[in-house]
Structure 1
Amino acid sequence: MDFKVFTIIATIVNFLILLAFLKHFLFEKVSNAIDERSNNIKNTIDKTNSDREEAKNLKIQVEENLANSKLQGKNIVEDYKGRAEKLFQDIKKEASNEAELIMERAKKDVEREKEKAEEELKKKVVDLAVILSSKALEKDINEKEHRRLIEDFITKVGM
């Protein structure tokens, strides 16, 4: 094998020129592209992690809001149940009071009718007594005097 020093030196110089040329024009651009792509991937991963955390927080917040909404709904239903029960009790009490008033009025009406009937009965008894006593005595006594005597008699007897 025959080595030629000039060929070796020329090959080394060519290699160094090619290396400098590639380093200057190609390696830097490739390195920048790789760094940029690496940064993009890192940013995408960071954004994904950030979005995942945000989604997790939103899910927790939505679950809390849902639980609060359910609790508020339950409270509203309980409130309306309480109001409905109170309204029912008020209506029931009012109806009971009105029924008592009607019963009292009816009792008073019955009492008045009873007193009225008693008065009419007294008058009829007095009239009958006057007629009977007139026929029995067969004499003409003043009718006013007769009525007064009979009413006194009835009062004393307790009719």
Structure 2
Amino acid sequence: MVVKAGLVEIGWTLVFQLINTIIIFLILRKLLFKPVSEMMAGRQNAIAESIKEAENKNKEADQLKLEYQRKLEGAHAEGRELIKDASKRADARADEIIIQAQQEAMKIKDRAEADIQREKQKAANMMKEELAALAVMAAGKIIGKDLDEKGHDKLIKDFIDEVGETTWSN
């Protein structure tokens, strides 16, 4: 019995073709579909693991980045502190140098004043000696005789005692 319905004939040939197609499907399913499905599932799992691993690496990288930023900020803060401390030390050293310079200037001034006082005293003593020598010469002319060394010294000493030390120190 052969029934024709358009392009396909319904008959034993169709039944055999259907049975052959089912057998080929089952064979292909067992030999091809299952390994391909397993391979696809394995590939899908590998991709999922790679994605998870990438996400974990990204999280790690973010944590490292945050840690690096914290360390960098700490280093900046430490640098600012070091600069601040160095500035304070420099200011303190500058103050020390100024104080030392002022002390040295005071010492120089004191030495200069002492030198001036010594020079004044020296000049006053020289004036006393010259005045005494003039007085002796004048006295010698008035007396009319030359004094010897002892007499000369005695006359100078008496003159100085008579005039007094206070009038010469001014």
**Residues 130 and 146 of structure 1 are in contact (CA less than 8 Å); yes or no, is this contact kept in structure 2?**
yes
**Residues 136 and 152 of structure 2 are in contact (CA less than 8 Å); yes or no, is this contact kept in structure 1?**
yes
Which residue is equivalent to 1:120? 126
Deviation at 1:12, TM superposition (A): 5.8
Deviation at 1:9, TM superposition (A): 6.4
Deviation at 1:32, TM superposition (A): 1.6
**Residues 132 and 159 of structure 2 are in contact (CA less than 8 Å); yes or no, is this contact kept in structure 1?**
no
Which residue is equivalent to 1:144? 150
Distance 1:82 1:93 in 2: 16
Q: What amino acid maps onto 2:142 in structure 1?
A: A
Deviation at 1:15, TM superposition (A): 4.2
Moved more, 108-117 or 28-37: 28-37
The count of corresponding residues between Structure 1 and Structure 2 is 158
**Residues 133 and 156 of structure 2 are in contact (CA less than 8 Å); yes or no, is this contact kept in structure 1?**
no
Aligned alpha-carbon RMSD (Å): 2.3
Q: Give the share of equivalent positions with the same residue, in percent.
A: 31
- What's the CA shift string for 1:104-159, capped at 9, x where partnerless? 21112111111110110110011011011111222344443243233233234233
Q: Does residue 1:74 correspond to 2:80, yes or no?
A: yes
Distance 1:12 1:129 in 2: 167
Which residue is equivalent to 2:7? none
Which residue is equivalent to 1:94? 100
Which residue is equivalent to 2:31? 25
**Residues 140 and 146 of structure 2 are in contact (CA less than 8 Å); yes or no, is this contact kept in structure 1?**
yes
1:33-44 paired onto structure 2 within 5 Å: 33-44=39-50
| TM-score relative to the length of structure 2 | 0.80
Among 109, 115, 137, the residue aligned to 2:115: 109
**Residues 130 and 143 of structure 1 are in contact (CA less than 8 Å); yes or no, is this contact kept in structure 2?**
no
Distance 2:57 2:141 in 1: 122
Q: What amino acid maps onto 2:65 in structure 1?
A: K
**Residues 130 and 147 of structure 1 are in contact (CA less than 8 Å); yes or no, is this contact kept in structure 2?**
no
Moved more, 117-126 or 142-151: 142-151
**Residues 140 and 147 of structure 2 are in contact (CA less than 8 Å); yes or no, is this contact kept in structure 1?**
yes
**Residues 136 and 155 of structure 2 are in contact (CA less than 8 Å); yes or no, is this contact kept in structure 1?**
no
Q: Does residue 1:14 correspond to 2:20, yes or no?
A: yes
**Residues 126 and 150 of structure 1 are in contact (CA less than 8 Å); yes or no, is this contact kept in structure 2?**
yes
- What's the CA shift string for 1:42-93, capped at 9, x where partnerless? 0121022112101210220121011111111101101210221122112112
